[in-house]
C-alpha cells in the first residue's frame, strides 16, 4: 500500500478447481531505515474468492506451502560499519620551533557511520591517550545515523616524553566502536586522512640539535702605549655550547683568520658534548696584526663550530661576539691615535662698570686648540652654537695643519651679546666643538672644557645679579563734606607705582601696607605675575578711614613694602 508499497493485478474472473495463477498479481515495496535496522521485512497477504453459492473463502499466505500460514520473511543483508580519522597538531608552547619535554600534541577525531544501520553507544579508545601522559575526553555518542560524521565529541592531548623527542615522532592509532541494531559491535582502527585506510597517525617532532659558539677577543698592547702597531697581537677565546637536546660528538672549530702565517688555532676536537654543556677551555687562537688592520682600525671575522648529531648529520653555527642567539662577527677595535682637544674660556665685559650684567653687555671667548694625538691634523675648525647665532660672532680658522702636540691659542676668538634670559639665569653656559681631519680622511672632534684637555665640562660665565624693586606711594585726602577740615569717617586714597628697577625679571610682585592691612584700611590689586626690567605697574590701590588720633595728630604717615621674586 502507498506510500511505501504497491499491489497490481486482478481480480481473476474465474479460477477452476486445481487451477494455479502465478501471473495476475505482483507487488513492490520500498525498504525503510527501520527495515534495514531490523535486517528483514516480514508480513502476509490474504487471497479471497467467491463460491458458487455467493460465500467468500480466504487464506493467509504462506512462504512455501499451501498447507501452512507462515509469514513471508525477506532477509536484508546487514551493512553496519564505522570509520575513524585521527589527526594531530604539535603544540610548540615556547614558540622556538622544536619539541621539548612538557610540550603537547592535540588530537582530533572524525567518527563516521559508514554503514547503512544506525549505530548506538559509539566510543573511542586510544592506548596512547588512556595512559599517564594523555587524556581522552568526550562521548559516548548515543546515536549515529548512517552517513553521519561527528568531529566535535572526542578530543585528546598527549604530553611529549624524552623517548618521543629522541624518536622525532609520535605514532599510534585509536579505535572507534559502535553497537548495531542486533546488539553486535563494529569497530575500526583510525587512519590519518581516510575512512578507507587504517594507517597510524604520525606526528613529527622537530629535531632540536643545535650548536652555538661565541668568539671573544683581547687586543694585546705589547708596548703599553695604548695604540696598535705592526707585530702586536689579538688573543681569541671560544665558548662552544650544545644548545640543542641531543648529544653532539666530534665537535670542531674552524676560523679562516687563524691560519698561517698570521694566525693560529689550537684545541679539539671535543669527543662528546652533552645537551646544555658549555666548553670554554678547549679552543684558543692568536692573530698578528697587519698594516691593513691598523689602517682599518679593527679586525672583524667569524669562526664556525660543527658537531655530529646522533643520526649522523652535522650541525654548525657561525660565531657571535656575545650571544648564542645571534651571528654577529667578532670585531676587535684597534685604538687609533688621532685626537683633538679644546679649552674655551670667557671674560664678562662690564661695559658700564656698575658691577652688574645688563642687556647689551658682552662676553669675550678665547679658544685653546691642541692636537693631543699622534697624527697630523688638517682643516682644523671650531664651531659654537652660541656664537654662530644672531647674538654672537666666531672668527678665525680653519687651521691648515696642526702637528701632534701643537697648541693654538690665537686663531679663534668669539664674542656674545648678553640676553635677558641670560641675566635672569645669572650665567651663560655652553660648549664649542673642535674638529680636525686625520690622515685617513676621518674627522676627530672634541667638546670644549673650561680648563682641561681631559674633560668636557661646559664653560660657565657668571653674570653678577642686579635684582631691584622700587615703590612710590602717594595719597589724596578726601574731604567728603567739603568743609575744608578732616572729620572722623572721612578717607585717604592711596596709589602705588611699582617699578622693576633692576636687570632681572621679577615674578609674583606684591605690596603690603600695615596701615591698609588693618581694620581701618583696604589694599587691593595684584599680585603682578611678571614684571620685566624697567617696567612700572600701577595695579595696587588702597583706602584708609581717618581716626580721631589722626585728626589730633593733623596727619597720617606710614610706608608700604613692594616684594618680588627674581628668576
What is the rounded distance in angstroms from the CA atom of residue 121 to the CA atom of residue 119? 7
Give phi and psi for 38, each to the nearest 5: -80, -15
What is the rounded distance in angstroms from the CA atom of residue 378 to the CA atom of residue 436? 6
pLDDT of residue 114: 95
E strand or H helix that includes residue 553: helix 548-553
pLDDT in tens, the chain (567 residues): 778 877 888 899 898 898 888 888 877 878 777 766 766 777 888 888 898 998 888 888 888 888 888 887 766 666 799 999 999 999 999 998 888 889 999 999 999 999 999 999 999 999 999 989 999 999 999 999 999 999 999 999 999 987 787 778 999 999 999 999 999 999 999 999 999 999 999 999 887 889 999 999 999 999 998 888 778 999 999 999 999 887 889 999 999 999 999 999 999 999 999 888 999 999 999 999 986 787 677 999 999 999 998 788 999 999 999 999 999 999 999 887 789 999 999 999 999 988 888 899 999 999 999 999 767 789 999 999 999 989 999 999 999 999 878 999 999 999 999 998 898 888 999 999 999 998 789 999 999 999 999 999 999 999 888 788 999 999 999 999 999 999 999 999 999 999 988 778 889 999 999 999 989 999 999 899 998 888 899 999 999 999 999 999 999 999 989 898 886
Q: Which bin fits 400, alpha (ψ -120 to 50), beta or left (φ > 0)? A: alpha
Q: Which domains does the chain have, with CATH numbers?
A: 5-75 (no CATH), 83-204 (2.60.40.10), 212-333 (2.60.40.10), 341-462 (2.60.40.10), 470-566 (2.60.40)
pLDDT of residue 162: 76
pLDDT of residue 75: 60
How many C-beta atoms lie closer than 10 Å to residue 346's C-beta? 19
Q: Are 446 and 341 in contact (CB under 8 A)?
A: yes
The CA distances from residue 226 to 286, 335, 373, 398, in Å, are: 19, 7, 11, 29
> Which ranges in 389-443 belong to alpha helices (H)?
420-425
State the DSSP string of 468-528. Answer: --EEEEEEEEE-TT-SSS--TT-EEEEEEEEE--SSS-EEEEEEE-TTTTSTTEEEE---E
What is the rounded distance in angstroms from the CA atom of residue 291 to the CA atom of residue 297? 10
pLDDT of residue 374: 65
Q: Is 446 helix (H, G, I), strand (E, B) or coil?
A: strand
pLDDT of residue 432: 97
pLDDT of residue 36: 66
pLDDT of residue 74: 66
pTM above 0.85, yes or no: no
pLDDT of residue 456: 96
Indicate the DSSP class of residue 532. -
Beta strands in 319-389 (DSSP E): 330-333, 341-349, 362-370, 377-383
Amino acid at each position: 500500500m502507498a506510500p511505501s508499497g504497491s499491489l497490481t493485478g486482478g481480480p481473476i474472473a474465474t479460477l477452476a478447481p486445481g487451477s494455479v495463477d502465478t501471473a495476475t498479481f505482483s507487488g513492490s515495496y520500498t525498504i525503510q531505515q527501520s527495515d534495514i535496522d531490523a535486517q528483514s521485512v516480514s508480513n502476509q497477504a490474504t487471497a479471497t474468492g467467491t463460491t458458487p453459492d455467493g460465500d467468500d473463502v480466504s487464506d493467509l499466505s504462506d512462504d512455501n506451502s499451501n498447507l501452512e500460514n507462515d509469514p513471508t520473511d525477506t532477509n536484508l543483508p546487514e551493512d553496519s560499519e564505522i570509520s575513524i580519522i585521527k589527526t594531530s597538531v604539535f603544540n610548540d608552547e615556547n614558540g622556538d620551533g622544536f619539541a621539548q619535554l612538557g610540550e603537547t600534541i592535540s588530537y582530533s577525531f572524525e567518527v563516521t557511520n559508514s554503514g547503512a544501520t544506525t549505530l548506538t553507544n559509539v566510543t573511542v579508545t586510544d592506548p596512547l591517550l588512556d595512559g599517564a601522559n594523555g587524556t581522552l575526553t568526550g562521548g559516548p555518542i548515543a546515536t549515529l545515523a548512517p552517513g553521519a560524521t561527528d568531529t566535535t565529541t572526542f578530543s585528546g592531548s598527549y604530553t611529549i616524553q624524552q623517548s618521543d623527542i629522541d624518536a622525532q615522532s609520535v605514532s599510534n592509532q585509536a579505535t572507534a566502536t559502535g553497537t548495531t541494531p542486533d546488539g553486535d559491535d563494529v569497530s575500526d582502527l583510525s587512519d590519518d586522512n581516510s575512512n578507507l585506510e587504517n594507517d597510524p597517525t604520525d606526528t613529527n617532532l622537530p629535531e632540536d640539535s643545535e650548536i652555538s659558539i661565541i668568539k671573544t677577543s683581547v687586543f694585546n698592547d705589547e708596548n703599553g702605549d695604548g695604540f696598535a702597531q705592526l707585530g702586536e697581537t689579538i688573543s681569541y677565546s671560544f665558548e662552544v655550547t650544545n644548545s640543542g637536546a641531543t648529544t653532539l660528538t666530534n665537535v670542531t672549530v674552524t676560523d679562516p683568520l687563524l691560519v698561517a702565517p698570521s694566525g693560529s688555532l689550537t684545541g679539539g676536537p671535543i669527543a662528546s658534548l652533552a645537551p646544555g654543556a658549555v666548553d670554554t677551555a678547549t679552543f684558543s687562537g692568536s692573530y698578528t696584526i697587519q698594516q691593513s688592520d691598523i689602517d682599518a682600525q679593527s679586525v672583524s671575522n667569524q669562526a664556525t663550530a660543527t658537531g655530529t648529531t646522533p643520526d649522523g648529520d652535522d650541525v654548525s653555527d657561525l660565531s657571535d661576539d656575545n650571544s648564542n642567539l645571534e651571528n654577529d662577527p667578532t670585531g676587535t677595535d684597534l685604538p687609533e691615535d688621532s685626537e683633538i682637544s679644546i679649552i674655551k674660556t670667557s671674560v664678562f665685559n662690564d661695559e658700564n662698570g656698575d658691577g652688574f650684567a645688563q642687556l647689551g653687555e658682552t662676553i669675550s671667548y678665547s679658544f685653546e686648540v691642541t692636537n693631543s694625538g699622534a697624527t697630523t691634523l688638517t682643516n682644523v675648525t671650531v664651531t659654537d652654537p652660541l656664537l654662530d647665532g644672531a647674538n654672537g660672532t666666531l672668527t678665525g680658522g680653519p687651521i691648515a695643519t696642526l702637528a701632534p702636540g701643537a697648541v693654538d691659542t690665537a686663531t679663534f676668538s668669539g664674542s656674545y651679546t648678553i640676553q635677558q634670559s641670560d641675566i635672569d639665569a645669572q650665567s651663560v653656559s655652553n660648549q664649542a666643538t673642535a674638529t680636525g681631519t686625520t690622515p685617513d680622511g676621518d674627522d676627530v672632534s672634541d667638546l670644549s672644557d673650561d680648563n682641561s684637555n681631559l674633560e668636557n665640562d661646559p664653560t660657565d660665565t657668571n653674570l653678577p645679579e642686579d635684582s631691584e624693586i622700587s615703590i612710590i606711594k602717594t595719597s589724596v585726602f578726601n574731604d567728603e563734606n567739603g568743609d575744608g577740615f578732616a572729620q572722623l569717617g572721612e578717607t585717604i586714597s592711596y596709589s602705588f607705582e611699582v617699578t622693576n628697577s633692576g636687570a632681572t625679571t621679577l615674578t609674583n610682585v606684591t605690596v603690603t601696607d600695615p596701615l591698609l592691612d588693618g581694620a581701618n584700611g583696604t589694599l587691593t590689586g595684584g599680585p603682578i605675575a611678571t614684571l620685566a626690567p624697567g617696567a612700572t605697574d600701577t595695579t595696587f590701590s588702597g583706602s584708609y578711614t581717618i581716626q580721631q588720633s589722626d585728626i589730633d595728630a593733623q596727619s597720617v604717615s606710614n610706608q608700604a613694602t613692594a616684594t618680588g621674586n627674581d628668576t
